[in-house]
A and B are shown apart, each in its own frame.
Chain A
Amino acid sequence: MNMIDRLFGVSPQVLSVRSQRTELIAANLANADTPGYKARDVDFGDALAMARGERRGLQHAHGSHIAIGGESQAVRYRIPSQPSMDGNTVETDREHSEFMENAIRYQASLNFLDGRIKSTLLALRGE
Chain B
Amino acid sequence: MSLFNVFDISGTALSAQSVRLNAISSNLANAEVVSSSEEEAYRARYPVFSSAMDSAMGGRGAVGVRIDGMVESQLAPRKEFSPTHPLADQEGYIYMSNVNSVEEMANMISASRSYQSSVEAMNTTKQLIMRTLNMGR
- A interface residues (Cβ-Cβ under 8 A, vs B): 15-16, 19-20, 22-27, 29-37, 40, 69, 71-72, 75, 92, 95-96, 99-100, 103, 106-107, 110, 113-114, 117-118, 121
Contact = CB atoms under 8 A, between A and B. Distances in A.
Interface in B8-26: 9-10, 12-13, 16-17, 20
A23 B65 contact: no
Contact residues of B: prevailing secondary structure:
helix
Nearest to B1: A19
Contacts of A15: 132
B13 A19 contact: no
A26 B125 contact: yes
Contacts of A118: 136
A113 B135 contact: yes
Contact of B62 (A26, A92, A99, A110): A26
B128 A106 contact: yes
A71 B114 contact: no
B133 to A, nearest CB: 10
Contacts of A32: 114, 117
Contacts of B65: 30-31, 33-34
Most chain A beta-carbon neighbours within 10 Å: one of B121, B122, B136: B121
A22 B63 contact: no
B118 A29 contact: yes
A71 B61 CA distance: 11
Range for the number of chain B residues in contact with chain A: 35 or more
Given A31-B51, A118-B136, A23 B64 contact: no
Interface of B: 1-3, 5-6, 9-10, 12-13, 16-17, 20, 49-51, 58-65, 110-111, 113-114, 117-118, 120-122, 124-125, 127-128, 131-132, 135-136
Nearest to A99: B121
Given A22-B6, A113-B135, A72 B117 contact: no
Contacts of A107: 128, 131
